[in-house]
Amino acid sequence: MAYVITRLCRDCVDSACVEVCPVDCIFEPKAGTGLPNQLFIEPDQCIDCACCEPACPWEAIALDDEVARLFHDDIALNTIVAARPHDFVSATLRKRPRPTADEVEANRKKWEDASRSGSAGSASGEGEPAPHTS
C-alpha cells in the first residue's frame, strides 16, 4: 500500500504534505511533460506513515485502497513517478493560505461534476496520460 494524491490537488498544489513527509517521496512534474499540475507520491518510496494525509488542506490524499471510486484513475497516475522519474523533481515548498471549507467542497464538486459529464480528465484543461512502463 501507498498513499495517493488525487486530482483534488490539481491546480491547488498546496505543499503542506511536502513539509511533513519524512522520506521526501512527494514530487511535481517538470514543465513541458504534459502531466497535470499537481503533486504525486512515488509509491515505492512511500512508507505509509500517514503524515501527509491530514496535512493536505484540500483532502486530496488517501491510501491507495481507500481512494474514492471517482478518483481511482489517480492511483495509476501516481505510479508515473516511478515509471518516468526523469519527468519529475522534488516538490517545492509553497506557503499558501489554507482554503476555507467552502473552497474545499467547491473543488470536490468541480471534479464530481466533471466526472458526471465525462470530462474528468479535462477539468483542469489537461488530459491524463496513461502511465507507461519500460
How many domains is the chain partitioned into structurally? 1
What cell was used for 125? 484543461
Pick the closest to residue 7 from 45, 39, 46 (CA basis). Answer: 39
Pick the closest to residue 62 from 86, 46, 81, 84 (CA basis). Answer: 46
Q: Which residues of the chain form beta strands (DSSP E)?
A: 3-5, 26-29, 40-41, 61-63, 88-90
Contact criterion met (CB below 8 Å) for 8 and 53: no
Q: Please report whether residue 90 resides in a domain.
A: yes
What cell was used for 59? 483532502
Q: Please report whether residue 132 resides in a domain.
A: no
In this prediction the pTM is 0.83
Give the tens place of pLDDT for each residue, 65-75: 999 999 999 99
Q: Please report whether residue 89 resides in a domain.
A: yes
Q: Please report whether residue 130 resides in a domain.
A: no
Q: Please report whether residue 126 resides in a domain.
A: no
The SS3 call for residue 61 is: strand
Interatomic CA distance for residues 42 and 65, integer angstroms: 16
Q: Please report whether residue 133 resides in a domain.
A: no
Name residues of the chain where pLDDT drops below 50.
122-134
Name, in order, each residue with C-beta under 8 angstroms of 10's C-beta and a sequence gap of 6 or more: 36, 37, 38, 123, 124
The domain that contains 22 carries what CATH number? 3.30.70.20
Q: Please report whether residue 41 resides in a domain.
A: yes
Q: Please report whether residue 70 resides in a domain.
A: yes
State residue 96's pLDDT score.
85
The boundaries of the domain holding residue 11 are 3-117
State residue 116's pLDDT score.
81
